[in-house]
Structure 1
Amino acid sequence: MKKILVASALAIATLSVSPMIAAPAFAQAKGVAVADVRVAAARSSAFTTASGQIETTYKAVIDNQNTRAQTLQAEVNVLVAKYSEESKKPTPNQAALQAAAKAVQDKRQAAQTELSQIGAPVDLAIAYVEDQISVRMNEAIKAAMTAKKVDLLLNPDAVIARENNVDITEAVVTELNRILPTVSTAVPAGYQPGQLVQQRNQQLMDAARAAQPGAAAPAPAGTAPTTR
């Protein structure tokens, strides 16, 4: 299970980091660094603690998924053996060979679907944890950049060569641990993966619109809109 959680953290689909520096800043940047925010999220105290909590809370689900996975793999192996046996014949029957290959493919797809359904509660809990971290990631990045006197931060994948001292991933982890030491693993009713990030982005857009010159002030709570 720990491998599943780590793999999930390293491929956080919901991780949303807004651009904080415009393109012309490349030419003006004095302090440049790199940071892998996916790794930072995976190393954070919030994620590692939540991972352990998820393992405990959903132990029955995880055990069931693992047991069922072994059974399904054995069934797939039987079909693979039949395909292999047919393919090794001096003159394989092409129709039988294609049928055997299709049986393997169909069984694998059905197995993946079944295992995904079994593990859905675990996946949703992980997504909720990732979502909570994603909402605060920009804040941690900005704090790390300030602490390290960096005004341009790059993704390591976009860099051809660098020295080790320009990587501030651990600084992001430190700030993330300070800002968000823990997260909840209790998924709210009706929650959808990425929902918190979407809500946060909407709040930022609404705030940006409200700050524009000429923007109408929001009506006080409980006040009906005026009509003509």
Structure 2
Amino acid sequence: MSTMTKTVALAAGLALATVAAQPAFAQKKGATASAASGTIVQGLGIASFDAVIANSNAYKAAETQRQTTYKAQYDQAQARNTALNAQIKPLVDKFNADRQGGKVGEAALQQQAASIQQIQENGKAELQRILQPVGLSQAYVNEQIEEKLNDAVKAAMTKKNVSILISPDAILAVNGGAYNLNQDILNELNTALPSAQLVPPAGWEPRQIREQRAAQGAQQPAPAATAPAGR
């Protein structure tokens, strides 16, 4: 039954994770040196946009408010997740027992595994539908922040005389130092956008979907002109 090793990793639970961990705001060791530890490279700045966004007042306030505004969706998803786990666990236990007992044929085990996987996939899709308003809220808030981020970056760079801005992830080593612009950008962003609207308007779609829709519309050929009917 060597082919059944692929199904050993079947999980009994369905993960319910809706909010990603916020990026750390601290400088990377060995990558971003402070002014005290070395000479600042004039005109060179370092910034993590993900960290700036996650530490902005608008983002943090929205994360807190969302727990209350979308409590019904969170509770519904959690309850459904618990029910799905209860449904799947005995099926997984039976599959493992049958596989280890050696009395159930390969075809029957494959059928059990396929049934469990189908329930898992359907369950994940159901949880996504329940939490869709939460995901739209997250995308709506992020888009509002991103719309202000570019101007905040430009303003911070101008004030600190930074002409080149790079990500900490792109740095292999720094001999001396570079100006960490995270806090400066964050200050500008908090001023430009103290808070964000939490609930998107009806029919709102994330930018990526809007752009895809626009691209698809541009690729469609224009309707051919019809010749006027003869008299």
Is the TM-score greater than 0.5?
Answer: yes
The answer for unaligned runs of 5 or more in structure 2 is 1-16, 24-40, 212-231
Aligned to 2:19: 5
Aligned to 2:85: 73
**Structure with bigger RCO (C-alpha 8 Å, 6+ apart):** 2
**Do the aligned partners of 1:131 and 1:195 also contact (CA within 8 Å) in 2?**
no
How many residue pairs get aligned? The number is 177
Query: Does 1:112 find its partner at 2:124?
Result: yes
**Do the aligned partners of 2:47 and 2:167 also contact (CA within 8 Å) in 1?**
yes
Q: How many Å apart are 1:95 and its aligned residue?
A: 0.7
Aligned to 2:186: 173
Amino acid at match of 1:32: L
More helix by share: 1
**Residue deviations 1:145-166, cap 9 Å, x none?**
2233211111222221247864
Aligned to 1:151: 163
**Do the aligned partners of 2:44 and 2:178 also contact (CA within 8 Å) in 1?**
no
**Residue deviations 1:22-70, cap 9 Å, x none?**
xxxxxxx942222111121111000111122221111111111111112
Aligned to 2:202: 189
Q: 1:167 to 1:81 in 2, by over 3 A?
A: farther
Q: How many Å apart are 1:129 and its aligned residue?
A: 0.6
**Do the aligned partners of 1:135 and 1:196 also contact (CA within 8 Å) in 2?**
no
Bigger CA radius of gyration? 2
Alignment of 1:1-228 (within 5 A): 4-7=18-21, 30-90=42-102, 92-162=104-174, 166-194=179-207
Within 2, Cα distance between the matches of 1:148 and 1:75? 58
Secondary structure at the aligned position of 1:33 is classed as strand
Cα root mean square deviation, aligned: 2.5
Q: 1:169 to 1:197 in 2, by over 3 A?
A: farther
**Do the aligned partners of 2:62 and 2:198 also contact (CA within 8 Å) in 1?**
yes
Amino acid at match of 2:121: Q
Within 2, Cα distance between the matches of 1:165 and 1:77? 53
Percent of residue pairs bearing the same amino acid type: 34
Aligned to 2:217: none
Q: 1:139 to 1:191 in 2, by over 3 A?
A: same
Amino acid at match of 1:157: D
**Do the aligned partners of 1:131 and 1:196 also contact (CA within 8 Å) in 2?**
no
Secondary structure at the aligned position of 1:124 is classed as helix
**Do the aligned partners of 2:45 and 2:162 also contact (CA within 8 Å) in 1?**
yes
Using the size of structure 1 for normalisation, the TM-score is 0.69
